[in-house]
A = this chain, B = another copy of it.
């Protein structure tokens, strides 16, 4: 049963005066029956106050208790898996395989943070014994607002990486549910809230607030007791939240991952010799109906002899694919509109529309691409633009013209290595992750993953929103000078009761002091 209510610090509140909204099944284009209540200003304020009141306690919970909490969330999610994935499919039109895959990914992400807490060294304990006794470790920053993402109703939403990394850090979380999948979000929130009850944690550490209007999110981000924001979505949405947060009396960090065109560079010899390229890239372009932040939006090929019709090859490889609709008609409309503009504006030299689905592949000469910066705008959906370069120099110019990106991919043979080096040197200051094989879609949840890049790909390139290092978004250092051992947090005590790897006078040591 989906109640449509808001969860305010442990209590599902029924408000008969609330504004109502519904979600829509993109397959049928029909509204789903459940009615969702938009949360009120009062509900927002009470949720934030409860989060703030619970902060001091939650910040001091042991790693052991946080592990128990995360594991209980996993258990509660598993118990509700069939309901969650059923609602997920209704609200997103994403197929069953994807639903189960994303569900599993969500559990796996939680597991990564369980293991991070078990190991514990992420807390960055360091001790300096010469001069004043100085010991430093990380401490949570306070209550966090997390916005559900439209394109990942599970893995980047209510119990996604933002929420779980904040919980692992010791920060209370307020989720603003994405209105396109409010039901999925509620089902997940139920699981989280049950875990809080079972673990006897303060109810204030989690609230789940809904609404179609931007005002709910704005109120949350503007609230003086909120200390950080996590967001994955469009540039306009992320930038609006960022600006709001900077205009507060106390500015706060906003980690907005706002997308990217993830340029692929195919060097001359690679283009000539690798006959599987088009097929691999075509699959990446249409994966999830193109709704991945790491979707390859631009494929830059070096083809001085004009020998390869790469755009046609990619287009041919897509032909025959049947794609589900995009997760919401608004997103579909925006995609259709952008393609129409490119087509009607004759901005490109050719535009191949697939017959079997809504995917499309464009082709443009690099000389033209370099004079029309709007061609580097993201087209969110199953579209890619092949940019054809006549020389390595032209390719380097295209690389130099790029804005900040989540990823870039350099595909070359050994014989292309001189150019690869030059490209790498130029692109390193523009991206978060550089691939040399494969495709950028599929973001491994591991410690060295970097998901985030220089602006406008994200608002803070120094942090990742995927992988265990994403926990550092919610932590800041606190130093203790000449503190009695008994007052120190466990992570800094002489006897090292947590068995952490600590930096002691510059050396990593896991024994007691």
Contact = CB atoms under 8 A, between A and B. Distances in A.
Contacts of A476: 432, 454, 461-462
A447 B503 contact: yes
A66 to B, nearest CB: 17
Contact of A506 (B119, B417, B462, B483): B119
A402 interface: no
A424 interface: yes
7 contacts: A56-B429, A59-B429, A128-B446, A141-B461, A246-B246, A253-B460, A438-B481
Interface in A356-370: none
A475 interface: yes
A435 B482 CA distance: 6
Interface in A321-352: none
A17 to B, nearest CB: 35
A299 B16 CA distance: 52
A362 to B, nearest CB: 26
A340 to B, nearest CB: 27
A112 to B, nearest CB: 11
Given A141-B461, A417-B486, A432-B477, 20 more contacts: A56-B429, A59-B429, A126-B448, A128-B449, A131-B444, A132-B438, A136-B449, A142-B429, A242-B251, A243-B246, A420-B487, A424-B487, A432-B479, A433-B481, A435-B482, A436-B481, A436-B487, A437-B481, A454-B476, A462-B472
A455 B249 CA distance: 10
Nearest to A134: B448
A456 B248 CA distance: 12
Interface in A455-505: 455-456, 459-462, 464, 469, 472, 475-484, 486-487, 501, 503
Contacts of A455: 250-251
Contact of A483 (B59, B434, B450, B464): B434
Contacts of A308: none
A276 interface: no
A502 to B, nearest CB: 10
A18 interface: no
A206 interface: no
Contacts of A432: 476-479
A28 interface: no
A258 to B, nearest CB: 12
Contacts of A459: 251
A127 interface: yes
Interface in A122-144: 126-128, 130-132, 134-136, 139, 141-142
Contacts of A478: 428, 431-434, 450
Contacts of A438: 132, 481-482
Contact of A250 (B132, B435, B437, B456): B456
A508 interface: yes
A60 interface: yes
A462 B446 contact: no
A426 interface: yes
Interface in A234-262: 242-243, 246, 250-251, 253
A307 interface: no
Given A56-B425, A481-B434, A506 B447 contact: yes
B448 A55 contact: no
Contacts of A446: 128, 130-131, 134
B246 A127 contact: no
Nearest to A57: B425
Contacts of A11: none
Contacts of A431: 478
B479 A450 contact: yes
A64 interface: no
B448 A135 contact: yes
A76 to B, nearest CB: 27
A421 interface: yes
A487 B503 CA distance: 31
Contact of A429 (B55, B464, B487): B55
